Structure 1
Amino acid sequence: MRGLSSLGNELYTGRRSVQIVGRRRTWFTIALALVVVSVLILAVKGMNLGIEFRGGSQFTVSGAANLDQQPAADVVAELSGEPPRISTVGTDSLRVQTAELTSEETQQLRDGLAEAYGVPAEDVTATFVGPSWGQDVTAKALQGLVIFLVLVSLVMAAYFRTWTMSVAAIVALLHDLVATVGVYALVGFEVTPASVIGFLTILGYSLYDTVVVFDKVRENNADLYTQHRRTYAEGANLAVNQTLVRSINTSVVGLLPVASILFVGAFLLGAGTLRDIALALFVGMLLSTYSSIFIATPLEVTLRERSEPIRRHTRSVLEHRARSRAAAGEGQGGEDVAARTEDLTGVGVVAGHHQGHDAQPRRRKKGRR
């Protein structure tokens, strides 16, 4: 813990720096590859839509002593040619999902399942879900997503007073959403209303982490044009380093309970709702931490450096730095002067640096007024 605290302090003060913004091409390539792979998985494998979205009949066998799925498959095969979707629920229940059945077929399947698992017919419940309900849920989810993105774009543009941070945050958010859906399709978990809730929940988490980093970027570059110590990209990279340990700690604290829910829901209880929402949250929270550090801020810097004032300032800083180094090499004590010059570039101690014991405020002694 002491090592992590020391690392966080060194990253915050600038004594140690992880070059994130400077290697943005690498992070962009990784993000693009992840999105492309996710899209290909969706195109080839597709989503495993639950009964709420595709419609059909669902049977739940309660109190079964034997949870073997083959008897249920045999009963459905005698009645319908379409293979059913069978899963265990808890420790003594079985769920069987089939295509839409008539009332007569539903009764026959209930009796067949009751006989196959040796339970009373009353312990086999049957429900029917129409596909229109799933279509309504999908339409409302997409509508909510569009409204959310529009409002977030406007609020962030107004808060940060620049459109670049708004666009970068939205791109990072869409990256998290697409990649999470791709992982969901790869694993093959059913897409249920709980899954949709999980997808929408990670939007807020991703946005929160990105806003924290952007706020530090704005703070470090508040007086950008009045100094020649560092460029906009260096100030942004310092901001990412200053919030790096905080982002990791927040992610770990958030992921541990979600991982526990995922493990309990998937392996112990067999609870589909817990499993569905926990997988979306786990993958989304993990990706949002990555995107806020390696995608959002580097992309914002890329967009910001397209403006002429930022370009002029960057050239001015680099020219001033070159002159300072040249002067440091020609004068006496060149190494000491060069070291002090490096500290003024923004890569060394700049924001939040410790100025020594003598610079700290004096405490008044007790009894003195």
Structure 2
Amino acid sequence: MSKLGNLGARLHRGEVGYDFVKNRKIWYGLSILITITAIVGLAVRGLNMGIEFEGGAVFNTPKNTSASVSQAEEYAEQASGHDAIVQKLGDGSLRIQVAGIDTDAANTIKNTLADDLKVDSEQINAELVGPSWGEQIANKAWQGLGIFLVLVVIYLAIAFEWRMALAAFVALIHDITITVGIYALVGFEVTPGTVIGLLTILGYSLYDTVVVFDSLKEQTKDITKQTRWTYSDVANRSINSTLVRSVNTTVVALLPVAGLLFIGGGVLGAGMLNDISLSLFVGLAAGAYSSIFIATPLVADLKEREPAMKALRKRVLAKRAQSSAKGETDVHDDESYTGEPEDDAAPAVVGPRNQPASRSRGRGRPSGKRR
């Protein structure tokens, strides 16, 4: 067995592990800091909305255009009087986006760009996009997001409990806020591909969280019938038992997305891949983080406020103190919780039973026919 596989088996059995729940305040603080940074970036810089949402025109120049990106950007801004976004594609052509212009202005800009770039105006392809189309996409995206969140909360509240539903909802909002904030800080253009990527990461983040919740629900079924572990202890074991699986799933998902983002968008110059790959990359990483460091510790926090769990914690701590006073080994450290209640009854005696001798023992059985 590989070292990673051996580590995963030991984590699952509870032989080793990290106390995520005990150090939850550190992770809460880190998440709050990142979230505040994302919100400030969103408020200060705002989102760089694509022409699909603001309306405008896209000009595609012929292959192997000699002008650089900075030169084409300067030409487009001088011709239109608006900010322009220029991307150099893999075949050497340029994609020039200018927002807030109409059809007449687009034709004028097209001719001016042809003169500045020293190409035939017929070789420049101009496409007009109205703002109403992007507005419809944005409205549908918000509606889909709202319906998704409502259905998720209802399902988790029924399948698990309301505390887990609330924790999953907080984790999803955490992931969305960080992803949108990173977009604002980096300055990438927000396109319909960005919206698709944003909706995609919600399902992944929720899937990773539900895996831990399912393990936690199974292990805490009869937790109040024992006095060895608190709810936080079992929650921490649930995280550790699925830790290697979560890490492996996240790494496998991030590798192809990183290829799209850094190689496809950065090296090959396919700028349109950045729209969806950045949201996927940031969202997948944030989703894996929130499922481990935010969702389950938050559930443990909420559950520990229940009277039954408070009473359980008192019994567990009292038993541990009693064991320490007697110099006994703490069962909390060397055994794993299986979710089964403790059996306080005396163990059954194993072996042959002592039965009374039969009264007829030693007497011969009469033989022959009865008369």
Specify if TM > 0.5.
yes
- Residue 159 of structure 2 aligns with an amino acid whose one-letter code is Y
Secondary structure at the aligned position of 1:265 is classed as helix
**Contact kept? 1:87, 1:96, Cα under 8 Å:** yes
Q: Tell whether 2:6 aligns with 1:2.
A: no
Secondary structure at the aligned position of 1:58 is classed as strand
The 1:352/1:308 distance shift into structure 2, 3 A limit, reads closer
Whichever of the two has the greater Rg, that structure is: 2
The 1:95/1:64 distance shift into structure 2, 3 A limit, reads same
**Partner in structure 1 of residue 106 of structure 2:** 106
Secondary structure at the aligned position of 1:62 is classed as coil
**Partner in structure 2 of residue 214 of structure 1:** 213
The 1:288/1:348 distance shift into structure 2, 3 A limit, reads farther
Count the aligned residue pairs: 339
Question: Any residues of structure 2 matched to 1:14-93 within 5 Å, and which?
Answer: 14-93=14-93
Q: How much has 1:81 moved relative to structure 2? A: 2.4
Q: How much has 1:68 moved relative to structure 2? A: 0.8
Q: Tell whether 2:313 aligns with 1:314.
A: yes
Q: Tell whether 2:147 aligns with 1:147.
A: yes
Q: How much has 1:164 moved relative to structure 2? A: 0.4
Q: How much has 1:136 moved relative to structure 2? A: 1.5
**Partner in structure 1 of residue 203 of structure 2:** 204
Secondary structure at the aligned position of 1:95 is classed as strand
| Farther off after superposition, 26-35 or 264-273 | 264-273
**Contact kept? 2:76, 2:96, Cα under 8 Å:** no
Name the CA distance, whole Å, in 2 between partners of 1:32 and 1:249: 26
The 1:96/1:314 distance shift into structure 2, 3 A limit, reads same
**Contact kept? 1:194, 1:276, Cα under 8 Å:** yes
CA RMSD of the aligned region, Å? 1.9
* 1:191-212 deviations in Å (ceiling 9; x for gaps): 0000011111110010000000
Q: Which residues of structure 1 form unaligned runs of 5+? A: 330-337, 354-369
* 1:97-134 deviations in Å (ceiling 9; x for gaps): 22333444322322232333343323211111122222
**Partner in structure 1 of residue 287 of structure 2:** 288
Q: How much has 1:251 moved relative to structure 2? A: 0.8
**Partner in structure 1 of residue 335 of structure 2:** 349
Name the CA distance, whole Å, in 1 between partners of 2:315 and 2:239: 23
Q: Which residues of structure 2 form unaligned runs of 5+? A: 340-371
* 1:121-180 deviations in Å (ceiling 9; x for gaps): 2321111112222221111111111110100001111111x1000000110111011011
- Residue 142 of structure 1 aligns with an amino acid whose one-letter code is W
Q: How much has 1:70 moved relative to structure 2? A: 4.1
Larger fraction in helix: 1
Question: Any residues of structure 2 matched to 1:166-205 within 5 Å, and which?
Answer: 166-205=165-204
Secondary structure at the aligned position of 1:91 is classed as coil
* 1:266-325 deviations in Å (ceiling 9; x for gaps): 123322331111111111111111110000000001111111111111111111222223
Name the CA distance, whole Å, in 1 between partners of 2:213 and 2:50: 38
Q: How much has 1:74 moved relative to structure 2? A: 4.4
Name the CA distance, whole Å, in 1 between partners of 2:102 and 2:155: 51
Q: How much has 1:87 moved relative to structure 2? A: 1.6
**Contact kept? 2:219, 2:338, Cα under 8 Å:** no
- Residue 336 of structure 2 aligns with an amino acid whose one-letter code is V
**Contact kept? 2:46, 2:184, Cα under 8 Å:** yes
**Contact kept? 2:56, 2:129, Cα under 8 Å:** yes
Percent identical across equivalent pairs? 45
Q: How much has 1:67 moved relative to structure 2? A: 4.3
**Partner in structure 1 of residue 121 of structure 2:** 121
Name the CA distance, whole Å, in 1 between partners of 2:201 and 2:12: 27
Q: How much has 1:78 moved relative to structure 2? A: 4.3
**Partner in structure 1 of residue 227 of structure 2:** 228
- Residue 97 of structure 1 aligns with an amino acid whose one-letter code is Q
- Residue 50 of structure 1 aligns with an amino acid whose one-letter code is G
- Residue 44 of structure 1 aligns with an amino acid whose one-letter code is V
Secondary structure at the aligned position of 1:46 is classed as coil
